[in-house]
Structure 1
Amino acid sequence: MKYLIQNLLKTIPVFILISLIVFVLVRVTGDPVSLLLPETATDAERESLRESLGFNDPLYMQYLHYMSDVVRGDFGESLRYNTDALAIILERLPATLELAIASMIVAILIAIPLGILSAMKRNTFLDLFITGGAVLGKAMPSFWLGIMLILLLSVVFQIFPVSGRDSLMHLVLPAITLGTGIAAEMTRLIRSSMLEILGQDFVRTARSKGLREAVVVNIHAFRNALIPVVTIMALQTSTLIGGTLITETVFAWPGMGQLLVQAVNLRDMAVVQAATFLIAFFVILSNLLADLLYRLLDPRIKYN
């Protein structure tokens, strides 16, 4: 509990720094008033709207007002939807989490068997094929892979729908698109971790006892190789959430990523800031959960 409290306290300056960076960046991109009013609006109308939104105050005063509202859970009102920005984000959040979880499942289903198999068949043609495929999967841009999957499996063979979120069939292509790059990185990490563990004394001892190779690999070796895998899974949280920005746009997936892209284009500052805060929260939470999983995987780990 002491460890959890200490780490939660450390997140406070992180959130303050993130809020400051985002606050400044969304204000240097341009004047949102020009998007809210038609081109025929007079200077007086523009000035009146700017005053009502608080844009005429000094920048530091705007930031202090913004942070005082954030502490109360108020991220402001969306300039486009004329409603609470956080409520809009929370409405889209389930779709993004659904896609992120499905993508991680796809990555795990691909990476674990291929990583173990590559380590067991070290320096063979199969090993070279898997590692080469992992490099290729990491190098492919997600938007290009998504478009290719749409052309092949939606247009040519018409197996999966092109876009939307009406059924599980709509989830398959976006999850594969987002999960492929993560699977590629995890495969290489699992291979290197397994190679290191398979060469240690306790694995040789397990083999000398006459245990089946499947038991040695899956029970003794793989569990000890999981700690770096858990680490990379936690670090991939930002990749998952960030990757949804492109993937949701390609597949018209109605999640937080698509909303954030639209908010950036429209300079909807409240939505951008609320979404960034929420993404930062999930990244920090995933890293904290990874620290706790280390203890479950290896009881020798102690937190001071």
Structure 2
Amino acid sequence: MKKYITKRLLEIIPVLFIITFVVFVLMYHAGDPVAMMLPDEASQEDRENMREALGLNDPFIVQYGNFLKDISTGNFGESIRYNTQALPLVIERLPASFELAGVAMLVAILISIPLGIWSANKRNTVTDLFITGGSVLGKAMPNFWLGIMLILILAVNVQIFPVSGRGTLVHLVLPAITLGTSIAAEMTRLVRSSMLDTLGQDYIRTASSKGVPYFKVVVSHAFRNTLIPVITITTLQLSIVVSGSIITESVFQWPGLGLLLVQAVNARDMAVVQAAVFIIAILVIVVNLITDLIYVLIDPRIKYS
């Protein structure tokens, strides 16, 4: 296991290198940062002096080398909007994003697992059709549309929940439902499919023929063997949580990393964009590694190699 972890950690290095290169190239061709930093009335000489001071007149490879040198020390530059270092600003927003993502995943799990199991046990019935149809509908609904509908109905008309902001558990309800719905839709279909495959196995029929209560057969035998694909899809949904949170945080003005990234892109705040993308990439890599380590705890048949 130690060798496996070491190998995976070493594999992260080239991945991060590629990510830094892609991010730098995108920012390199995104426009002239000097135009954003200086007022319109600034002279051409002032612009050239600032470009020289920032190293923007250097060749591409030199600029990229300086970029790698800076980020190796955690220096992504200074935000032109907030006048502070970009990395601490991004890290400051992480707790809010983790809070929203964690509650959204909890909402998705609480919805998808019971519905997936119920749908599998009611195969080809009206209940199954209703659940699978609801899953397709939930997957098809855009996050921003669902968020706006929830705001109009539950925040504006009924006035049960606040429209936006962060501070109490009540503020979490609408954003978490908005973000968790699409995740729950995908997970429900996977749980249903995995349960159907497992319920058709010989050992399930054997357990039932021995008089084991059906509920115990489903929960202790069938569902346990569906955990690996469920954990897999849950991990893969992280990308949806990250991308979806950008929209959700913007709709509800949730002060997390997603909202910061949108504001940075609109303001052409390159330093913040680079820091945010880099941190998101690291989070995805770390979660994938943790998921691989969890596999062996659930299924002893899986060995590290």
Counterparts of residues 34-49 of structure 1 (less than 5 Å): 34-49=35-50
Counterparts of residues 264-275 of structure 1 (less than 5 Å): 264-275=265-276
Q: Note the alpha carbon deviations across 1:99-132, whole angstroms, 9 max, x for none.
A: 0101000000000000000000000010010000
- 1:79, CA displacement in angstroms? 2.0
Q: Note the alpha carbon deviations across 1:257-290, whole angstroms, 9 max, x for none.
A: 1111111111211111111111111111111111
Q: How many residues align?
A: 304
Q: Which residue of 2 aligns with 1:201?
A: 202
- 1:245, CA displacement in angstroms? 0.8
Q: Is 2:249 aligned against 1:251?
A: no
Counterparts of residues 6-45 of structure 1 (less than 5 Å): 6-45=7-46
Q: Which residue of 2 aligns with 1:280?
A: 281
Q: Which residue of 2 aligns with 1:226?
A: 227
- 1:239, CA displacement in angstroms? 1.2
Q: Equivalents in 1 of 2:95, 2:54: separation in Å?
A: 30
Q: Which residue of 1 aligns with 2:176?
A: 175
> Letter of the aligned partner of 2:294 in structure 1?
L
**Most deviating of 69-78 and 221-230:** 69-78
Q: Is 2:9 aligned against 1:2?
A: no
Q: Equivalents in 2 of 1:153, 1:245: separation in Å?
A: 22
> Letter of the aligned partner of 1:207 in structure 2?
S
> Letter of the aligned partner of 1:182 in structure 2?
I
Q: Equivalents in 2 of 1:32, 1:80: separation in Å?
A: 12
Q: Is 2:141 aligned against 1:152?
A: no
> Letter of the aligned partner of 1:26 in structure 2?
M
Q: Equivalents in 1 of 2:29, 2:266: separation in Å?
A: 13
SS of the aligned residue for 1:225 comes to helix
- 1:14, CA displacement in angstroms? 0.6
State the TM-score, normalizing by the size of structure 2: 0.98
Q: Note the alpha carbon deviations across 1:16-58, whole angstroms, 9 max, x for none.
A: 1011011111121211211111111111111122222221111
Q: Is 2:63 aligned against 1:62?
A: yes
Q: Is 2:193 aligned against 1:192?
A: yes
CA RMSD of aligned residues (A): 0.9
CA contact 1:32–1:266 (8 Å) conserved in 2: no
Q: Equivalents in 2 of 1:213, 1:278: separation in Å?
A: 46
Q: Which residue of 1 aligns with 2:116?
A: 115
Counterparts of residues 119-130 of structure 1 (less than 5 Å): 119-130=120-131
Q: Equivalents in 1 of 2:182, 2:55: separation in Å?
A: 43
Q: Note the alpha carbon deviations across 1:225-274, whole angstroms, 9 max, x for none.
A: 01011001111111111211110000000011111111111121111111
Q: Equivalents in 2 of 1:48, 1:263: separation in Å?
A: 25
Q: Which residue of 1 aligns with 2:99?
A: 98
Q: Equivalents in 1 of 2:257, 2:100: separation in Å?
A: 11
Q: Equivalents in 1 of 2:34, 2:104: separation in Å?
A: 38
Q: Equivalents in 1 of 2:6, 2:188: separation in Å?
A: 34
CA contact 1:238–1:279 (8 Å) conserved in 2: no
Q: Which residue of 2 aligns with 1:77?
A: 78
**Most deviating of 58-67 and 44-53:** 44-53
Q: Equivalents in 2 of 1:41, 1:71: separation in Å?
A: 33
> Letter of the aligned partner of 1:25 in structure 2?
L
Q: Note the alpha carbon deviations across 1:72-117, whole angstroms, 9 max, x for none.
A: 2222222222211110001111000100101000000000000000
> Letter of the aligned partner of 2:231 in structure 1?
V
> Letter of the aligned partner of 2:202 in structure 1?
D
Q: Equivalents in 2 of 1:183, 1:141: separation in Å?
A: 14
Return 5+ residue gaps in structure 2 as ranges: none
Q: Which residue of 2 aligns with 1:141?
A: 142
Percent identity over paired residues: 64
Return 5+ residue gaps in structure 1 as ranges: none
- 1:300, CA displacement in angstroms? 1.2
